[in-house]
Amino acid sequence: MSESEQPSSAPTTEAPLPVLVQTARKAALKALGELGAAGSPLSGNEPRALMLSSRTDGGRSLPPYYLVYFLLVDLLEFPHMGQWEKSAWTVPVRYRGRLYGVEHRKMGLGVFAPSLDPKARMSGRPTSEQEADAKEITALITKAVSVAAPYFEWRAEQAALGTQLNVLNKGSSLFERFEYFRDRFRTLSAEAEARKDERHITKVKLEDGSEVTSGSFPSYTLLREAEWNAQAALEAFFSWTEHVFIHLAILRGTVRTGDEVARLAEADWKAKFKAALDLNEKKTKDHYDALLDLRAQIRNFMAHGSFGKRGEAFRFHSGAGAVPVLLTDDQRHRYSLTGKPAFDERWAITEIEEFIGHLWSGSRAPAKQHVHSDLPTILSLADDGTYKRAMSSEESMREFVEHMTHAFDNAANMDW
């Protein structure tokens, strides 16, 4: 449509598509019906008219922008126009011979109607015909996206095998959740300590004239709530580490492809820890052993019925009195009378905080800035050595984070 119009960079030019995907292409073209690539301008006014196009209401319910782009540009190889002010891409299309633009602008994806008046100096309101067309274009594209599902599956598999992927970073928000419950635990514990000698006495007179006296201790309720918040903090901590260990593994260069990230995400906590930290370091190994033991106790207590902190589920009567029976992980001996001591919430929080300090020490210190920046971790930057250079010092990481934050802000605003 103009000098900025670009041909598709579809992966189909590099290697033949699988038969299943070729079938999806034929089905998608059939689903589009009378909607096709615009082709060459039919008049000298069309390129200008498309630049002055306006958003239609009928085009506001298109599928996600990436599915539409992969459908039209990658799979069907429709030519598209490059980036321009507040616009990421535009695919010129024709519906029943009439020109429209499927465009991803800052305010979202849509079907845009051109201003065909040669005297126009700005975009105007779409006509009723253009609104009706946009609604039908949206329906056709939605149908084509649906039948092209095999292509999207193949595309996702190809992407996962490479390094052109961003791994979402939720480290900051997950850590804030841990901090919230930890701080509530401390606040409630401190209040319970301050009110430990406080007792509320209540007297109630019955109908027969007798009086019943009852008492309550606020510190008991406060300690119980503190314990709940501590346990929630422990769960939040392990959730945070499951996430952060993956990002740290990428920053360290031990994980570089989407497939490796997926496998690590599915692995257990132990595998994630080992990918992120070196167990050959004694202090790291000590923390690993302590946290692994704590995690097992938390999991047994909170995720498996919360009978008792040591795994006790039953008590049987004996000459010694009531005796706790513990559930074990040993399939040959499911029950035991002996086990590890019950975990203490205050000790657990202390151990966790000591580990967090250790996590962000030494060669791992620069990674803290990136994890708490909310920037995604980009696999291609692990593959080409960019993260290795940024991890060389905290100053290098600070400069890198500032640069990437600025770049992401520009991209979000479509300031090319």
More confidently predicted of 53 and 299: 53
State pLDDT tens for residues 154-183. Answer: 988 888 777 788 899 999 999 999 999 999
pLDDT at 209 over 80: no
Q: Do residues 128 and 145 both lie within one domain? A: yes
Residue 49 near residue 375, CB atoms below 8 Å:
no
Q: Do residues 224 and 289 both lie within one domain? A: yes
Handedness of CA 373, 378, 381, 383 (dihedral sign): positive
pLDDT class of 310 with cuts at 50, 70, 90? very low
Q: Do residues 69 and 138 both lie within one domain? A: yes
Q: Do residues 150 and 208 both lie within one domain? A: no
Of the ranges 137-146, 171-180, 229-238, 255-264, which one carries the lowest mean pLDDT score? 255-264
pLDDT at 49 over 90: no
Q: Do residues 153 and 231 both lie within one domain? A: no
pLDDT at 332 over 60: no
More confidently predicted of 82 and 399: 399
State pLDDT tens for residues 374-414. Answer: 999 999 999 899 999 999 999 999 999 999 999 888 877 66
pLDDT at 192 over 60: yes
Point out the domain boundary residue: 160, 178, 199: 160
Q: Do residues 226 and 374 both lie within one domain? A: yes
Q: Do residues 83 and 125 both lie within one domain? A: yes
For the chain, the average pLDDT equals 85
Q: Do residues 116 and 184 both lie within one domain? A: no
Q: What is the pLDDT of residue 87?
A: 81
Cα 138 to chain centroid distance, Å, stands at: 29
Of the ranges 21-35, 305-319, 368-382, which one carries the lowest mean pLDDT score? 305-319
Q: Do residues 370 and 240 both lie within one domain? A: yes
What mean pLDDT is predicted for residues 2-9? 43
What mean pLDDT is predicted for residues 181-206? 90
Q: What is the pLDDT of residue 203?
A: 80
What mean pLDDT is predicted for residues 232-244? 95
Q: Do residues 108 and 230 both lie within one domain? A: no
Structural domain range at position 53: 5-160
How many independent structural domains does the chain possess?
2
Q: What is the pLDDT of residue 351?
A: 95
Point out the domain boundary residue: 110, 132, 160: 160
Can you give the pTM of this predicted structure? 0.71
Q: What is the pLDDT of residue 166?
A: 87
Q: Do residues 296 and 231 both lie within one domain? A: yes
Tell me the Cα Rg of the chain.
31
Point out the domain boundary residue: 92, 126, 160: 160
Q: Do residues 82 and 211 both lie within one domain? A: no
